[in-house]
Amino acid sequence: MPDRESVCGTYFISDSGCNRIAVFKPVDEEWGQSGRPLSSEPFEGYSEAFLLGECAYKEAAAYLLDHNNNAGVPQTAIVKCTYPIATSFGFSSGVGAFQVYQDNVGDADDYGPGIFSKENVQRIATFDQWFQGEKVAG
């Protein structure tokens, strides 16, 4: 099932009980790629310092570099997957980042900074800025 709030192609993978177990992010649906079903307009947080089509590989590398799960990067691998196309009833097949799904209570932007510990924010922000600076706020 495609994520309708995502800036780029993001698909939730569910088990037979309809529980989300993974997220698939295809390379050809990243910002600026020809397979992207959503608008190709630049979005807040986009950085021209990163090459188009490398986000999935960077997410897999982030998992490998997150020693002892210090920043909480979910288990991630590069896989080839068949998935439903966001803009039609068809299917596509492509390479992308496949991550273990982690439930959350919303975007960090939806909450005041007081609910997060200073140490936790600094630990995650340092890792994210160093490795994934193209991401949007949050």
Distance, C-alpha 102 to centroid of its chain: 11
Task: Give the model confidence (pLDDT) of 78-126 as tens digits.
Answer: 999 887 776 667 788 889 999 999 988 777 788 877 888 888 888 888 8
Break the chain into its structural domains and give their ranges.
11-131
| Interatomic CA distance for residues 39 and 62, integer angstroms | 27
Residue 65 parent element (H or E): helix 55-65
Q: In the chain, pLDDT over 70 holds for what percent of residues? A: 71
Q: What do you get for the CA distance between the two ends of the chain, in Å?
A: 23
**CB distance 62 to 132 below 8 Å:** yes
Amino acid at the residue 19: N
